[in-house]
Structure 1
Amino acid sequence: MNPWYLLYCKRSEQQRAEQHLKRQGVDCYYPQVSVEKIRRGKRSSILEPLFPNYVFASFDPEKISFTTIRSTRGVVDFVRTGALPTRVPFELITNLMSVEDSDEQRLALSDLFKPGDDIEIITGQFEGAEAIYKESDGELRSILLINLISRQVEVSTENKVLRKK
């Protein structure tokens, strides 16, 4: 089984990158999720990228070079740790595939928090900090108003690191 890597793509060109990579014989995974939005006054369900600007790719580095992948239309570069492209655990890919479009995932993307809710950050660099939920942006991140040093500072963080107080 070939290792999985994470590619950073040009803005809004994940689908193009995925198409060109597949033509080269690379297995790709571009997770998308159904999100309800209001467009022209009507509620509609649209597909949005789960991770904007990122595509997972699996290939044999002995058959297809890293340079070939990096030179593909829509691809900027590999996500790296130092000089080497970072390998993505196979378990992460299978877990994402299993929940990508399930009811559980749709629930996770709905507005679990309402503007003005008092919340506590449960992981990450702001762990234990109390905040006021402001809004959710299109990248499944939450904008928070955190009282730091007597003033409110906006911070972007993932919804999964939050819980209601």
Structure 2
Amino acid sequence: MNVELGPAPPCGRALEEGERWYVVYAQPHCETSAALHLGAQNFRTFLPLLSKTVRHARKSVAVLTPLFPRYLFVVLDLNRDRWRAVNGTRGVASLVMYGGTPAPVRSGVVETLLASSSPEGEIRFEMAPGSRVRLVDGPFAGQLGVLRDLGRAGRVQVLIEMMGSYVAAELGDRGIVPAFGAWERPRSADRPVVPTTSRRADIARRQKAQA
């Protein structure tokens, strides 16, 4: 979804004791709506945005879109805040949970994104030749590659991994982001899984045998 720029997000101050960043899974195309309605309840949120070039009325237009579609971050103190209210907020599907409670984001992840963002939430990464990147714009969006050279006028050269080899391509510098690794894009498959009853019994037997 296209995102209109608004006031600077109120998420820049440091976390207080007991506060952590958590992941909110939004309803389709409702990331901005979820952030606005959470903010209206005095929850601090962060929606990382990425600039992409799209074709509109035969013109190329730069728009801001969520870096992680359907995901945003919220600050919570589980002992202080009514965190269940997040799940009932317009635009929110649910918090990412583990064992019945919200699962915190690994320390440093959101802080790194915040340090690389503009007041509007746009993420601008600094990358050097040799960095592994993921293409986020154009016909090769989603492909992995290696940054070969930083050109002039906002152009970069990338070696795209394709069919076991590398293909050189030149594109705009806003068409790539670092290939972060496991936390690059939260997915349902990445969510913590609570062991089933049989699995818990198996774990208990193993722990007893090792005792």
Q: What is the alpha-carbon distance in structure 2 between the residues aligned to residue 161 and residue 60 of structure 1?
A: 27
Is this contact kept in 2: 1:118–1:130, CA < 8 A? no
Distance change in 2, residues 1:119/1:161 (3 Å): farther
Match for 1:97: what amino acid?
Answer: L
Matched, 1:80 2:80: no
Partner of 2:59: 42
Structure of higher CA gyration radius: 2
Would you say 1:64 and 2:98 are equivalent positions?
no
Pick aligned residue for 1:96 from 113, 116, 126: 113
The verdict on how the C-alpha distance between 1:32 and 1:161 changes in structure 2, with shifts beyond 3 A counting, is: closer
Equivalent position of 1:8 in the other structure: 25
Look up the SS of the partner of 2:77 in the other structure: coil
Q: 1:131 offset after TM fit, Å? A: 7.5
More strand by share: 1
- The reply on whether 1:119 has 2:161 as its aligned counterpart is yes
Aligned-CA RMSD value: 3.5
Residue 132 of structure 1 and its aligned partner are, at CA, apart by: 9.0
CA distance in 1: counterparts of 2:97 and 2:32, whole angstroms: 21
The 1:21/1:118 distance shift into structure 2, 3 A limit, reads closer
Spell out structure 1 runs of 4+ moving beyond 3 A: 107-115, 129-133
2:37 is equivalent to residue 20 of structure 1 = yes
Aligned-residue identity in percent: 23
Contact 1:14 1:74 in 2 (8 A): yes
Q: Please, which runs of 5 or more residues in structure 2 have no aligned partner?
A: 1-15, 118-122, 128-132, 144-158, 168-176, 182-211
Distance in 1 between the 2:93 and 2:110 partners? 21
Note the C-alpha offset of 1:44.
1.1
In 1, Cα distance between the equivalents of 2:165 and 2:74? 37
TM-score (norm: length of structure 2): 0.51
Partner of 1:153: none
Q: 1:130 aligns with which of 151, 156, 164?
A: 164
Count of residues in correspondence between the two structures: 128
State the AA in 2 paired with 1:26: F
Q: Using structure 1 for the length normalisation, give the TM-score.
A: 0.63
Corresponding letter in the other structure for 1:119: E
CA positional deviation for 1:112: 10
Contact 2:47 2:72 (C-alpha < 8 Å) held by counterparts? yes
The residue identity in structure 1 corresponding to 2:100 is A
